[in-house]
Homo-oligomer: A and B are copies of this chain.
Amino acid sequence: MKKLRHLKPAGEAVFKDSYTTKARELLEAYSPGMQREIAVVGVPLSKASISHSGASFAPTTIREALQSYTTYSGEEGMEIADRIIDFGDIYMNPTDVTQNQERITEGLTDVFATETAGNWMILGGDHSISYSSIKAFAEKKTVGVIQFDAHHDLRNTEDGGPTNGTPFRRLLEDSIIRGENLTQIGIRDFTNSGAYDEYAKEQSVTVYTMADVDRLSLNQILEIEIQRLAKVVDVIYLSVDMDVLDQAFAPGCPAIGPGGMDSKTLLKGILFASHYEKVQAMDIVEIDPTIDFRNMTSRIAAYVMLQFIKGKRMDDGGGTQKGL
């Protein structure tokens, strides 16, 4: 059969450099029996948000943003050659939010049970998905959580059900994690209520405000906290709410504001944390692509993923890497 000249599949990228691999090409659809260092799952739920949110589109836009990156870290002279297992997205029912949240736990329980990967990246969705995700992750292990967030997310559930303002309250109340094992970093002024600040204290949650981050440096905080947690938990889960960043850097979060972290600090922090073996899962939440500018916030998320992967592939312990 004669080949048709110049034809390519619909939608495929027009340009391909023979010597360059795009990070998106690392994604490989899951099939049973696979064994990789890293896997990814999308959780497109945002109807649980208090405010109008299109965060359900983020699993798609973050994957697309990987197309803007290569697999090569020049800073380390390191090629990310291993494929990443992509389990796809959890199916969401259009009208039943609470059933969706159970469905996430069920789906991720099955995903984690495959044991095909040593490390997991969960792409939200709004922050409510972290409850379901951590619940699945904590079924067989004691979990410590490091939450990057401008907000405590410790709201009561009476006022609106299991929203994106409540995941960590619910995890504590349902004894899925212990307050001592929850660290919140980047909590911002005039962005939380005194009642929940108080609740965090009562529950022995460790809280670093933005002033703390500015004073101590993020990596120093992470070092302290990961070493503390590593002694008492089996695994550490990073929960990255993108609104921990200043609005100038992450314009696509529903709850934007000034006074937050810059993106370079976060990127360096994720790399630093990822070096630790016990850090085995990370979610990225609260990116609403419908209100973003040029998918900037999804681009940061994709970079966060690459830093996490890179950290896992470097031998040293977190203090000697060449840089960002």
Contact = CB atoms under 8 A, between A and B. Distances in A.
A92 interface: yes
B52 A163 contact: no
Interface in A75-107: 75, 77, 79, 86-98, 103-104, 106-107
A232 interface: no
**Copies of this chain, tallied across the complex:** 6
A135 B136 CA distance: 40
B4 A214 contact: no
A80 to B, nearest CB: 8
Interface string A231-252: 0000000000000001111010
B291 A263 contact: no
Contact of A190 (B42, B69, B92, B259): B69
B159 A12 contact: no
Contact of A10 (B63, B212, B256, B293): B63
A159 B17 CA distance: 6
A57 interface: yes
Nearest to A193: B20
A8 interface: yes
A104 B8 CA distance: 12
A284 B276 CA distance: 42
A143 interface: no
A95 to B, nearest CB: 3
For the complex of A and B, list the 3 residue pairs with the smallest distance between their C-beta atoms, beginning with the closest.
A211-B323, A95-B161, A19-B195
12 contacts: A5-B109, A7-B111, A9-B89, A10-B63, A19-B155, A19-B193, A69-B191, A70-B193, A79-B194, A93-B160, A257-B299, A258-B267
